[in-house]
C-alpha cells in the first residue's frame, strides 16, 4: 500500500484573496494586502497597519442565531473548512468519520481582536453568571486555542486525533506535518489540517514593544527592512493517502512529500545567527521526501522582514543549497502580513499554487538589495516558470523551525 | 520473552524498536514538587482541596481549590533564572529535572539533535496573556512588558526546556482541550517509532489562576457545594486544580542500549474526539469509548486484563455519566468489576496535568505501588468497583489511564509492567 500523502483540497482566507483562485491571482499580480487596521483602535499602537481579511461578510456564512456564539477565529476556520472540503469533493457521508482527525496551527485561537472584547468575557472586568440566552459560555470556551480544532471536529462529527499545534510562527506547518505523519503511520487515511489566527491587539502591542513591526512597509530581504507586519488568515487542507484519494477518484493538487523540524535551543526571541536550526529543518524535510536540494525549484521563505530573520534564513538556505545556489526564494509576507500560527499553513498554500499554476510569487517592496541577502528573491513581480518540487519554510519564536516539501502530482 | 512476542495491529511483529517505555517521571502537584509526595498522598487519600484564602472569592459559588503550594517551591526555583520565569515554565522545569534524574540522564546520554520536547496544555500561557491584556486595558499598548509578551506563546515552556538542556530536536506545543495528555503521548510515540527522535520529554501543565477560577465559576461548571465527589449522586461540579507532569519516553531498544531501567511500557494509546457539539461532550462518551478501544487493541489486551483504571471523571453530572457509559460500551461487565478511582476527588480538575497524574498513578500501580483511593464519593450513582483501600486484591500488571474533556477530546493510555 502506498503511503504517499496527497493534498486534495485547500480552503483559504487571506488578505489578498478569500479562496484558492483569488489567492493565486493575488500572488500572481503582486497584490499588497496591507492597510490601516480597522478591527481595533490602533491610534495608541506603535504600528497602525496590518493585513486584515477584506471583502468577506461572515453573516452570509452563518445564521443570525449562530453568529454571536462564534469568535472571529472560529468563523474564519469554519469558512475555510467548508471551502476546503467542498474543493476536495470528499463526501463525508461515505467516509468513516471516526477516523478523520483535525490538526490546526494557531497562536491566538478565538482571542478577541480588541480590549473591549476581552474585557466583556473575562474576570476581573466581567462578573456574574451568564443568562441562558447569552453567548458568553461559548465565547469563554472559544477564547482558548483548542477551540479551533474542537469547532471543526464538532461541525463535521469527526472522531480522529484532534488538536491545535501552538508553536508560535511555525505552528501551521507543523500542523500539516503532524497530519502527514498520522496518515503515513496508517492511523488515518484522511486528515484535515491547516491553521487560523485572527488579528488582535494583544500581539499588535506585544510585537510593537519588541520593536519587531515595520515603520512603513514590510520589505523582506531589502537592506532597509525594519520589521514585519501582522496579518490574519485561515487555511484548511484535506490530506489523504494516495490510495484513498485514487479510490474515490479525487483531483490531486500535490504530494506532501516531506516534512522536518528542529529547535535552535538558543534564545527565546533571538534566532541563532548561524542558521543551523532552520538548515536542519530543511535538510530533514528533504530527507523525509527522499530528495536532493537540486530537485527543489522554488523556496517559499519564512521571510518576516525583520533584520535578523532574513539574513539568517539566507544563510541557512545557502548552507543547504550551496553558497552559489540560484534557486529562487520569495517571501509573500509583504502581501499578506504575518499571520503567526496560521502563516505556516496558509503560506504553504502559496507554494502549492506556485507548483500548480506555474509562477513564482514575488517579494514586494524589495527596493534596496542587501549585500548579506544575495539570493534570487523574485523582487516586485511574479515570474512564470515550471516547477517539479518546492520547499516551504516556517520559523517561530523560541527557535522552533519547520520545513516541508511539496511535489507536483503527475496523475 | 514477552517483548519478542507482541504483534502490531497490522499483524507484523512488534519489535523493541517499536515499543515505547517510560524511563523517568516528574511532577509538581498540589502536594508540592516530586512524584513520591503525589503518589503517597493519593494512596493515603489525603485531600489537597482547601478553601481559597489569598484572593476574594466572596462573589463565587465555589470557594475551594487544589493549588500548588508556592512557598514550598521557592527554595527549588531560587537558582538560575527560574524564579523570574512564568509558573508554567517553573513547574514543568522542576518536573523535568526530576524525570531526567530518574532516567539516569547525563549531558552525554543522548545526541541533543535527537531529543525533543512535546508539551500539552489547555490554558497555555493564559496567566501571562492576562497580564498583557490588563496593561492594554488599564494603560496603553506601548506600556506592554516586552519580556512578558515573549512568554505568551504556548511553546515558551518547551523552548525554555530546550535552551536549558540544549536539545535541538523538534519541539511541539499542543492543546486539545483540558484533556490533551495522551494526544501528546500519541505524537511522541509516533516520533519515536518513525525514528525521528531517540528520546522525548513529554508532559503537560495547567495552572489555577484567579481569572480562570472566576471564569469557570461564572459559566457554572464548578461545585457550589465545594466538594469534589466523582461518581456520587450529589456531585454538582468540579474543584479546580493545577500542576505539571513530565515523562521521559524512549523505545525499549534504546533504553536497553544505554543501560537505563524502563519503569513501564505504554503498550496501547488511543486518542479521539467526540465530534458532537462545540463545548459539549457526547452523552454516551463516544470519543472516550473510541480511545479506550484503540488503546486495548493497540496492546492486544482484553477488557478483563485491565487491573486498574485511573478515571477522568471530575464530579460534574455529565462527564462522569459519559465516562461510565463509555466503559460499559467497551468493557461490558468488566466495567463494574475493574478497580477504579478518579484522583480528582483529592486534587481537583487539574485539566491537562490531570491526564499525566493519571498516567503516573498507573505506572506506580503496575510497579506494585498503592492505588489512589476514591475520596469524596459516598453515594455512588453507578455500579463500580471504586478503590477504597490502596492495596489491590490482585496484583496490577495492566492499568488504563483516561482523559476526557467537555470539549470532546478524549484519550486512553494502557500502561503495562515490564
Residues near A314 by beta carbon (within 8 Å), at least 6 away in sequence = A221, A275, A329, A372, A373, A374, A375
pLDDT in tens, B289-303: 999 999 999 999 999
Residue-averaged pLDDT of chain B: 94
Q: Contact B180/A146, CB-based, under 8 Å?
A: yes
Q: Contact A208/B144, CB-based, under 8 Å?
A: yes
Read off the pLDDT band of B209 (50, 70, 90): very high
Helix axes B317-331, B286-298, angle to 10 degrees: 40
pLDDT of B382 higher than 60: yes
pLDDT of residue A323: 97
Instruction: Tell me the C-alpha distance between A402 and A168, whole Å.
Output: 11
Query: B199 — phi, psi (to 5°)?
Result: -150, 145
Out of A98, A130, A209, the one facing B219 most closely (by C-beta) is: A130
pLDDT of residue B78: 63
Out of B133, B171, B187, the one facing A167 most closely (by C-beta) is: B171
Q: Contact A161/B186, CB-based, under 8 Å?
A: yes
Q: Which residues of B touch A75 (CB under 8 A)?
A: none
CB atoms within 10 A of CB B70: 12
Instruction: Tell me the C-alpha distance between B268 and B8, whole Å.
Output: 10
The DSSP secondary structure of A353-374, one letter per residue, reads HHHHHTEEPPBTT--SBBTTB-
Give the ipTM: 0.97
Biggest distance spanned by C-alpha atoms of chain B: 66
Q: Contact B183/A161, CB-based, under 8 Å?
A: yes
pLDDT of residue B2: 36
Read off the pLDDT band of B315 (50, 70, 90): very high
Q: Which residues of B touch A202 (CB under 8 A)?
A: 129, 132-133, 136, 152
Instruction: Tell me the C-alpha distance between A85 and A102, whole Å.
Output: 12
Interface check for A259 against chain B (CB to CB < 8 A): the answer is no
Q: Which domains does chain A have, with CATH numbers?
A: 5-407 (3.40.47.10)
pLDDT in tens, B354-364: 999 999 999 99
Q: Contact A167/B154, CB-based, under 8 Å?
A: yes
Weakest mean pLDDT among A87-91, B13-17, B333-337: B13-17
- Ranges of chain A whose pLDDT falls below 50: 1
β-pair partners for B400: B309, B414
CA dihedral sign, ordered B313, B317, B319, B324: positive
CB atoms within 10 A of CB A99: 18
Interface check for A385 against chain B (CB to CB < 8 A): the answer is no
pLDDT of residue B6: 47
Q: Which residues of A touch B152 (CB under 8 A)?
A: 202-203, 206
- The residue among B64, B404, B3 whose CA lies nearest residue B229 is B64
A389–chain B nearest CA distance, Å: 23
pLDDT of residue B83: 80
B302–chain A nearest CA distance, Å: 21
pLDDT in tens, B85-129: 999 999 999 999 999 999 999 999 999 999 999 999 999 999 999
CB pairs under 8 A between A and B: 267
B293–chain A nearest CA distance, Å: 12
Residue B6 CA, distance from chain mean position: 27
Taking the model in full, what pTM does it have?
A: 0.97
Probe site for chain A from B155, B192, B205, B326 (most A CB atoms < 10 A): B155
Q: Which residues of A touch B187 (CB under 8 A)?
A: 178, 181
Q: Contact B194/A185, CB-based, under 8 Å?
A: yes
B404–chain A nearest CA distance, Å: 13
Q: Contact A141/B279, CB-based, under 8 Å?
A: yes
Instruction: Tell me the C-alpha distance between A397 and A264, whole Å.
Output: 10
Q: Contact B136/A128, CB-based, under 8 Å?
A: no
pLDDT of residue B10: 43
A396–chain B nearest CA distance, Å: 9
pLDDT in tens, B226-278: 999 999 999 999 999 999 999 999 999 999 999 999 999 999 999 999 999 99
Instruction: Tell me the C-alpha distance between A40 and A118, whole Å.
Output: 12
Instruction: Tell me the C-alpha distance between A271 and A273, whole Å.
Output: 6
Q: In A127-241, which residue ranges form alpha helices assigned H by DSSP? A: 136-142, 147-155, 171-184, 201-209
Q: What percent of chain B has pLDDT over 70?
A: 96
Q: Contact B155/A168, CB-based, under 8 Å?
A: yes
- The residue among B326, B215, B227 whose CA lies nearest residue B270 is B326
- The residue among A387, A411, A376, A409 whose CA lies nearest residue A295 is A387
How many residues comprise chain A?
411
Q: Which residues of A touch B163 (CB under 8 A)?
A: 265-268, 399
Helix, strand or coil, per DSSP, at residue B248: strand
Spot the catalytic one: A47, A169, A365, A373: A169
CA dihedral sign, ordered B55, B58, B60, B65: positive
Q: Which domains does chain B have, with CATH numbers?
A: 2-416 (3.40.47.10)
B205's enclosing H/E stretch is strand B199-206
Q: Contact B173/A166, CB-based, under 8 Å?
A: yes
- How does A112-141 read in b/e, with b if 16+ C-beta sit within 10 Å? bbbbebbbebbbebbeeebeeeebbbbbbb
Interface check for A132 against chain B (CB to CB < 8 A): the answer is no
Write out residues 165-184 of A within 8 Å (CB-CB) of B.
Answer: 165-168, 174, 178, 181-182, 184
pLDDT of B5 higher than 70: no
Out of A146, A261, A402, the one facing B177 most closely (by C-beta) is: A146
Reply yes or no on whether A302 is catalytic. yes
The DSSP secondary structure of A265-291, one letter per residue, reads -S-SSSPPTT-HHHHHHHHHHHHHHT-
pLDDT of B4 higher than 90: no
Q: Contact B146/A163, CB-based, under 8 Å?
A: no
- The residue among A95, A112, A246, A260 whose CA lies nearest residue A177 is A260
Spot the catalytic one: A47, A338, A365, A373: A338
pLDDT of B3 higher than 70: no
Amino acid at each position: 500500500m502506498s503511503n504517499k500523502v496527497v493534498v486534495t483540497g485547500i480552503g483559504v482566507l487571506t488578505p489578498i484573496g478569500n479562496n484558492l483562485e483569488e489567492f493565486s491571482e493575488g500572488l500572481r499580480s503582486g497584490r499588497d494586502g496591507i492597510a490601516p487596521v480597522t478591527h481595533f483602535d490602533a491610534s495608541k499602537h506603535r504600528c497602525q497597519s496590518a493585513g486584515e481579511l477584506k471583502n468577506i461578510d461572515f453573516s452570509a456564512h452563518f445564521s443570525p442565531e449562530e453568529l454571536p456564539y462564534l469568535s472571529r477565529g472560529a468563523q474564519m476556520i469554519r469558512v475555510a473548512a467548508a471551502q476546503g472540503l467542498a474543493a476536495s469533493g470528499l463526501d463525508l457521508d461515505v467516509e468513516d468519520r471516526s477516523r478523520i482527525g483535525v490538526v490546526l496551527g494557531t497562536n491566538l485561537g478565538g482571542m478577541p481582536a480588541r480590549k473591549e472584547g476581552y474585557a466583556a468575557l473575562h474576570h476581573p472586568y466581567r462578573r456574574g453568571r451568564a443568562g441562558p440566552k447569552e453567548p458568553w459560555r461559548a465565547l469563554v470556551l472559544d477564547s482558548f486555542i483548542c477551540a479551533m480544532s474542537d469547532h471543526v471536529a464538532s461541525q463535521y462529527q469527526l472522531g480522529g486525533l484532534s488538536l491545535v499545534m501552538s508553536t508560535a510562527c511555525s505552528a501551521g506547518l507543523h500542523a500539516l506535518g503532524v497530519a502527514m505523519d498520522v496518515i503515513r503511520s496508517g492511523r488515518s487515511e484522511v486528515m484535515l489540517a491547516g491553521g487560523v489566527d485572527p488579528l488582535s491587539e494583544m500581539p499588535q502591542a506585544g510585537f510593537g514593544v519588541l520593536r519587531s513591526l515595520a515603520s512603513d512597509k514590510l520589505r523582506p530581504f531589502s537592506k532597509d527592512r525594519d520589521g514585519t507586519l501582522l496579518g490574519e488568515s485561515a487555511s484548511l487542507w484535506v490530506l489523504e493517502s494516495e490510495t484513498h484519494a485514487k479510490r474515490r477518484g479525487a483531483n490531486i493538487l500535490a504530494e506532501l512529500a516531506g516534512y522536518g523540524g528542529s529547535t535552535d535551543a538558543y534564545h527565546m526571541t533571538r534566532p541563532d545567527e548561524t542558521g543551523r536550526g532552520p538548515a536542519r529543518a530543511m535538510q530533514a524535510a528533504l530527507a523525509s521526501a527522499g530528495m536532493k536540494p537540486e530537485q527543489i525549484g522554488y523556496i517559499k521563505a519564512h521571510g518576516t522582514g525583520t533584520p535578523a530573520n532574513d539574513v539568517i534564513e539566507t544563510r541557512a538556505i545557502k548552507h543547504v543549497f550551496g553558497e552559489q545556489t540560484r534557486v529562487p526564494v520569495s517571501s509573500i509576507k509583504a502581501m499578506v502580513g504575518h499571520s503567526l500560527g496560521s502563516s505556516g499553513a496558509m503560506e504553504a498554500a502559496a507554494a502549492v499554487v506556485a507548483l500548480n499554476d506555474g509562477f513564482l510569487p514575488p517579494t514586494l517592496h524589495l527596493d534596496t538589495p542587501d549585500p548579506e541577502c544575495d539570493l534570487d528573491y523574485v523582487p516586485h513581480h511574479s515570474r512564470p516558470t515550471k516547477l517539479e518540487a518546492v520547499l516551504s519554510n516556517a520559523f517561530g519564536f523560541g527557535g522552533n523551525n519547520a520545513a516541508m516539501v511539496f511535489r507536483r502530482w503527475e496523475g | 520473552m514477552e517483548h519478542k512476542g507482541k504483534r502490531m495491529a497490522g499483524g507484523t511483529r512488534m519489535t523493541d524498536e517499536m515499543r515505547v517505555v517510560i524511563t523517568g517521571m516528574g511532577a509538581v502537584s498540589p502536594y508540592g514538587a516530586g512524584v513520591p509526595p503525589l503518589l503517597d498522598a493519593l494512596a493515603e487519600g489525603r485531600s489537597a482541596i482547601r478553601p481559597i484564602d489569598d484572593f476574594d472569592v466572596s462573589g463565587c459559588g465555589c470557594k475551594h481549590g487544589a493549588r500548588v503550594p508556592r512557598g514550598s517551591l521557592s527554595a527549588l526555583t531560587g537558582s538560575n533564572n527560574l524564579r523570574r520565569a512564568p509558573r508554567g515554565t517553573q513547574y514543568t522545569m522542576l518536573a523535568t529535572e526530576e524525570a531526567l534524574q530518574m532516567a539516569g540522564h547525563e549531558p552525554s546520554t543522548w545526541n541533543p539533535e535527537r531529543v525533543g520536547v512535546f508539551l500539552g496544555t489547555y490554558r497555555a500561557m493564559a496567566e501571562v496573556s492576562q497580564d498583557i491584556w490588563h496593561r492594554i486595558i488599564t494603560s496603553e499598548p506601548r506600556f506592554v512588558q516586552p519580556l512578558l509578551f515573549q512568554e505568551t506563546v504556548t511553546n515558551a515552556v518547551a523552548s525554555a526546556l530546550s535552551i536549558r538542556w540544549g536539545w535541538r530536536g523538534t519541539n511541539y506545543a499542543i492543546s486539545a482541550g483540558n484533556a490533551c495528555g495522551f494526544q501528546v503521548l500519541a505524537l511522541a510515540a509516533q516520533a519515536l517509532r518513525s525514528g525521528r527522535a531517540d528520546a522525548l520529554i513529554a508532559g503537560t501543565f495547567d495552572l489555577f489562576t484567579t481569572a480562570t477560577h472566576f471564569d469557570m465559576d461564572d459559566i457554572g461548571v464548578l461545585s457550589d457545594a465545594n466538594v469534589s465527589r466523582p461518581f456520587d449522586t450529589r456531585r454538582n461540579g468540579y474543584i479546580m486544580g493545577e500542576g505539571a507532569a513530565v515523562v521521559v519516553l524512549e523505545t525499549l531498544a534504546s533504553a536497553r542500549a544505554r543501560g537505563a531501567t524502563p519503569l513501564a511500557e505504554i503498550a496501547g494509546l488511543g486518542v479521539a474526539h467526540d465530534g458532537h457539539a462545540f463545548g459539549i461532550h457526547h452523552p454516551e462518551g463516544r470519543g472516550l469509548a473510541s480511545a479506550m478501544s484503540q488503546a486495548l487493541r493497540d496492546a492486544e489486551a482484553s477488557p478483563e486484563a485491565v487491573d486498574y483504571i485511573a478515571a477522568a471523571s471530575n464530579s460534574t453530572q455529565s462527564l462522569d455519566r459519559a465516562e461510565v457509559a463509555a466503559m460499559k460500551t467497551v468493557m461490558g461487565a468488566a466495567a463494574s468489576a475493574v478497580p477504579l478511582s478518579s484522583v480528582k476527588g483529592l486534587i481537583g480538575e487539574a485539566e491537562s496535568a490531570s491526564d499525566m497524574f493519571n498516567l503516573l498513578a498507573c505506572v506506580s500501580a503496575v510497579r506494585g505501588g498503592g492505588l489512589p483511593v476514591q475520596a469524596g464519593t459516598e453515594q455512588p450513582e453507578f455500579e463500580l468497583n471504586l478503590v477504597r483501600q490502596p492495596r489491590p486484591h490482585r496484583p496490577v500488571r495492566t492499568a488504563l489511564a483516561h482523559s476526557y474533556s467537555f470539549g470532546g477530546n478524549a484519550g486512553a493510555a494502557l500502561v503495562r509492567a515490564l
